[in-house]
Chain A
């Protein structure tokens, strides 16, 4: 679904040929139901107000003015999993907590997405210790992994944007249809790969002796 807004009487928005096509384009959005629903979902991912440890503080920081997650339609944090679309595993996944986390995940209604925030949730991170599960994906699915200990709010929001894009491209049948019935997810992307070149170019790092 492609659309844009322009100011009324903005000459730049009109090519000037006054064709029937252009007139329609200016006032009508043509799309299919699936795309429109995906567009709606993508722009209003409501997070579940759920946190485990340190990462949660950075996640909460992303809600506040400097970072302002509301820009991406995700400021509506919900206290109950039943009203939330996205669960952010913000922190260490403790063995004592794991059954609770899974139950909360199961209480979320589809469509639902999971961001694993921080090294602990990704893989156990620096806590290879008896009381910690080595990554939340050991017992539930994860859509986006955000590295960091804890990830900065910026990094978390980059993960959120990535997920929004994925949600926008996802195809979920709205009704019974002929075919496989399943959810068609876009291919998973690796930022490590896509950013590699840019990162390789970064050779001069700022000196820690200067502010």
Chain B
């Protein structure tokens, strides 16, 4: 069968400018902006083994880039990353925009999920999307001037005027935030009935963080939900452009703050791909071990708070106690609780401490009993079931159309786990099952997560039994910092140690994407190196962003209390939505 690039070249001929070689070996083609929508439509609906998911959509400001190779002239490059489940592969399409007031046709007609991605690009890069139904800022406040991810925009708060909030500004900001139904695309009435609008958040205990939802209600029935996000925008992507490759690791921890070191995982793997660093076996298994511990800890927070959302106050206390037990392990190994920043380029910070096995084994032996207890307490509880079974349903097709990954996708009955399908770091050597649901409702999403904790325990047990011996860090010169012991023995390592610690490593120019099956879904880093000590562009593809975009669709038609169940079952973290 001809590969996708030659099919596209045959069909679209001159519209395909060139093919780019990237470090991640994804087919990457440069395409004319005029043909982009036809091509996306073709790839989604016509081609054999179609690319059904718009996995990511982002932009690059090319104005300060040195290593452009033979790629077409571009000021802003729009990057579409598509995923085909049948082919089990990604496709990257790049569109160059050359004019200084750039615009490109919107892809919302092909993929509904393009909506927020395009708004994000508009907000952060200033690229306009013609035909977009609702092109407003999404992350930055309405009153913001400029587009932060443009190279000319200041990165630091301390480069800008000191923040002040005098009374008139407070009033103006509040006025800008004021909810006006017309602006948000909502009707005030239906037939002759006046509708009610309810504003939830940005400060509300049920939203699990600073998220604002405006709910249009007919009585107690939800007609529409409009999320307003961006309250948690911490500029993590811009941060990548100024921190060294090494010193950016702590920022990744905080992107999905319940996942801890699992956030380091895709980032360091992407850097390793760029640098051509091979990671030793022991480090690979240690990484898996720690990630699975964090999966359990994150799912425990979800388990407790989800039960709490539905009116059960006690489970959260039990589950947080077990989370403390996980944290005792994490702390003993990494030295910190929530954000250990423990992975390193080329390995992990240090070897496992003496006695680690016993510590983890105790937890692995203890926890299944607890899970059983919680199953009786929460999952079998009739009120819990009444509030989650048949609520917030979406189908596999809808999930794929909206870019849903992780437990939310598997709950629809589609067995897709990146640990199995595109194994990384040696997951192919582990035995575990991929739990799936049937109905894609709130209850099934819960079932999948609960079962995932059991599977994580299985993986951890296998790590305990089969931990390979050997170094915990690669001896590649770009490993940061190189193993200290070696620095005392040869001058090369000493020089690398000094440079990597003082300057940071210089990663060779190139582009690479790496993703992991994180706690909430698929979390990926798309890194572009310009041959410098910092990344040229750091794109973080987080799962919660598309998941949040789906909430309005699945909440429609249910009642207000169901919305709390739906929000809880989606299991998002606001820092993961807004970055």
CB distance from B294 to the nearest CB of A (A): 13
Number of A interface residues in the complex (CB < 8 A): 45
Q: Which of chain A's residues have a CB closer than 8 A to the CB of B531?
A: none
User: At the interface, is chain B mostly helix, strand, loop or mixed?
Assistant: loop
Q: Which of chain A's residues have a CB closer than 8 A to the CB of B254?
A: 53-54
* Stretch in contact with the other chain, from B33-41, B230-238, B382-390: B230-238
**Docked-complex contact A99 and B170, CB < 8 angstroms:** yes
In chain B, positions 231-255 with a C-beta closer than 8 Å to chain A are 231-235, 238-239, 250-251, 254
In chain A, positions 67-121 with a C-beta closer than 8 Å to chain B are 79, 92, 94-100, 102-104
What sequence of 0s and 1s flags, for each residue 149-190 of chain A, a beta carbon within 8 Å of any chain B beta carbon?
110100000000000000000000000000000000000000
Q: For the complex, what is the distance from the CA of A138 to the CA of B332, rounded to whole Å?
A: 37
Number of B interface residues in the complex (CB < 8 A): 59
Q: Whose C-beta in chain A lies nearest to the C-beta of B327?
A: A61
* B354 contacts chain A at the CB level, 8 A cutoff: yes
**Docked-complex contact A130 and B148, CB < 8 angstroms:** yes
**Docked-complex contact B164 and A138, CB < 8 angstroms:** yes
In chain A, positions 23-69 with a C-beta closer than 8 Å to chain B are 49-54, 56-58, 60-61, 64-66
**Docked-complex contact B574 and A211, CB < 8 angstroms:** no
**Docked-complex contact A128 and B202, CB < 8 angstroms:** no
Q: Which of chain B's residues have a CB closer than 8 A to the CB of A104?
A: 203
* B335 contacts chain A at the CB level, 8 A cutoff: yes
Q: For the complex, what is the distance from the CA of A60 to the CA of B235, rounded to whole Å?
A: 25
Given contacts A64-B317, A66-B324, A211-B332, contact A98 B163 (CB under 8 A): yes
Q: For the complex, what is the distance from the CA of A162 to the CA of B203, rounded to whole Å?
A: 27
**Docked-complex contact B202 and A97, CB < 8 angstroms:** yes
User: At the interface, is chain A mostly helix, strand, loop or mixed?
Assistant: loop
**Docked-complex contact B156 and A129, CB < 8 angstroms:** yes
* A146 contacts chain B at the CB level, 8 A cutoff: no
Q: Which of chain B's residues have a CB closer than 8 A to the CB of A126?
A: 250-251
**Docked-complex contact A96 and B231, CB < 8 angstroms:** yes
* A134 contacts chain B at the CB level, 8 A cutoff: yes
CB distance from B519 to the nearest CB of A (A): 13
Q: For the complex, what is the distance from the CA of A179 to the CA of B87, rounded to whole Å?
A: 81
Q: Whose C-beta in chain B lies nearest to the C-beta of A61?
A: B320
**Docked-complex contact B350 and A99, CB < 8 angstroms:** no
**Docked-complex contact B250 and A211, CB < 8 angstroms:** no
* A124 contacts chain B at the CB level, 8 A cutoff: yes
* B2 contacts chain A at the CB level, 8 A cutoff: no
Interface residues of B (CB under 8 A from A): 139-141, 148, 153-158, 160, 162-165, 169-170, 173-174, 177, 202-203, 205, 209-210, 230-235, 238-239, 250-251, 254, 257-258, 301, 316-317, 320-321, 323-324, 332, 335, 337-339, 350-351, 353-356, 359, 574-575
Listed A/B pairs (15) with beta-carbon separation below 8 Å: A54-B257, A60-B320, A65-B321, A66-B320, A94-B233, A97-B232, A99-B170, A103-B170, A126-B251, A130-B156, A131-B139, A131-B148, A131-B235, A139-B163, A211-B353
